[in-house]
């Protein structure tokens, strides 16, 4: 009898010891997802539990939306094995979802509910949502104007900068004349030209295009030039012995070899042209996100400013992502490139 009870105890003990690690493993795997769900429920509750200190129309909808996100996070975590790539993507970003939910909760409580942060300078999340729903046409107009101006100026600046850089790098005569001009004018911040540009150009739009092109052109020129100049002579020797003419040396040797440098220039030019774009829109152009910011400030519409800032950062970041994906496509032969 005693031997039976011993083996009974062993038999019932075995599954118990294996079940505990299973739960622990599940929690370790899915803890962040569950926590994300909790954080977003907290955000939803913080929206709906207390009354707003101000008059915002989207509080209720925002609370519901937070619950929806919490539900998605929870189901995504539980069903991660059945959701494939989407489930994996959610799993990878779960810690960020936790942080975001927590941040929004604190923000909601600190602004809309107890006004620990002074209003109207720190609007609550629902005020920013309200801008996107109620002021959408004007915001979209501004986005369109900004993108148009930026794209035109950037493309002109990048093209001119690239051609200038290749010419200086290739031809001694061009270098002799252009290099001093470049050294003298290039380092000048493009925004310093603003006052002059706005009265010499026929329209504020053409003036801004010029300034954006200038801000883009300088880094693109310098880096293209240094890229072309640093191409190893051995490449030219090889190409020449194989019967290459000068046009081939420029188009098929110098330019491809310089392309990694060119992309660094394009990246730097993009950054400085954003700065010029916003300043130009704030000062002279009566359209675009820079102008929208200025206009919102005039009306003390702080929620509109934050809303515009978020859109602006998405656009700038999107532009850089686009540039880098073009680069990755063109420079597949390169190893270990800069990550974005």
List of residues contacting other proteins (CB under 8 A): 232, 234-235, 237-245, 248, 252-253, 256-257, 259, 331-335
Task: Count CB-CB contacts under 10 A for residue 1.
Answer: 5
Question: What is the closest distance, in whole angstroms, from the C-beta atom of residue 239 to other proteins in the complex?
Answer: 6
Q: What kind and span of H or E run contains 16?
A: helix 2-49
Residues 42-81 as b or e (16 or more Cβ within 10 Å = b): bbbbbbeeeebeeebebbeebbebbbebbeebbbbbbebe
Burial of 241 (0-12, 13-18, 19+ CB in 10 A): exposed
Q: Is 340 helix (H, G, I), strand (E, B) or coil?
A: coil
Among residues 2 and 241, whose Cβ is nearest to other proteins?
A: 241
Among residues 232 and 297, whose Cβ is nearest to other proteins?
A: 232
Cβ atoms of 304 and 292 closer than 8 Å: yes
Question: What is the closest distance, in whole angstroms, from the C-beta atom of residue 257 to other proteins in the complex?
Answer: 7
Question: What is the closest distance, in whole angstroms, from the C-beta atom of residue 235 to other proteins in the complex?
Answer: 6
Give which of 268, 254, 257, 286 is closest to 222, Cα–Cα: 268
Backbone angles phi, psi at 243, to 5 degrees: 95, 20
Question: What is the closest distance, in whole angstroms, from the C-beta atom of residue 161 to other proteins in the complex?
Answer: 21
Give which of 195, 263, 179, 251 is closest to 224, Cα–Cα: 263
Question: What is the closest distance, in whole angstroms, from the C-beta atom of residue 236 to other proteins in the complex?
Answer: 9
Among residues 38 and 331, whose Cβ is nearest to other proteins?
A: 331
Among residues 51 and 332, whose Cβ is nearest to other proteins?
A: 332
Among residues 106 and 244, whose Cβ is nearest to other proteins?
A: 244
Among residues 100 and 257, whose Cβ is nearest to other proteins?
A: 257
Question: What is the closest distance, in whole angstroms, from the C-beta atom of residue 169 to other proteins in the complex?
Answer: 17
Query: Please, what sign has the CA dihedral across residues 223, 264, 293, 202?
Result: positive
């Amino acid at each position: 009898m005693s031997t039976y009870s011993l083996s009974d105890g062993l038999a019932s003990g075995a599954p118990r010891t294996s079940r505990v690690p299973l739960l622990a493993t599940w929690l370790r795997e899915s803890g962040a997802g569950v926590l994300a769900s909790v954080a977003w429920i907290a955000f939803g509750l913080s929206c709906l539990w207390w009354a707003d200190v101000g008059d915002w129309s989207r509080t209720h909808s925002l609370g519901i939306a937070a619950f929806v996100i919490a539900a998605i996070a929870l189901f995504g975590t539980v069903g991660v094995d059945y959701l494939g790539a989407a489930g994996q993507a959610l799993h990878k970003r779960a810690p960020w979802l936790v942080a975001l939910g927590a941040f929004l909760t604190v923000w909601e409580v600190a602004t809309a509910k107890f006004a620990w942060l002074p209003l109207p300078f720190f609007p609550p999340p629902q005020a920013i949502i309200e801008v996107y729903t109620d002021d959408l046409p004007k915001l979209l107009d501004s986005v369109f104007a900004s993108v148009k101006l930026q794209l035109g100026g950037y493309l002109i600046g990048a093209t001119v900068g690239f051609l200038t850089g290749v010419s200086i790098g290739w031809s001694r005569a061009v270098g002799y004349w252009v290099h001093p001009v470049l050294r003298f004018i290039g380092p000048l911040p493009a925004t310093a030209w603003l006052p002059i540009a706005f009265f010499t150009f026929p329209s504020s739009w053409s003036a801004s295009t010029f300034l954006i092109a200038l801000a883009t052109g300088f880094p693109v020129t310098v880096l293209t030039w240094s890229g072309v100049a640093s191409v190893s002579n051995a490449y030219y020797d090889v190409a020449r012995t194989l019967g290459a003419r000068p046009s081939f040396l420029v188009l098929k040797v110098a330019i491809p070899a310089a392309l990694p440098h060119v992309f660094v220039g394009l990246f730097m030019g993009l950054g400085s042209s954003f700065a010029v774009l916003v300043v130009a829109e704030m000062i002279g152009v009566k359209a675009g996100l820079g102008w929208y910011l200025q206009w919102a400030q005039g009306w003390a519409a702080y929620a509109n400013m934050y809303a515009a800032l978020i859109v602006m950062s998405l656009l700038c970041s999107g532009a850089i992502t686009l540039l880098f994906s073009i680069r990755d496509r063109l420079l597949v032969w390169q190893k270990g490139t800069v990550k974005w």
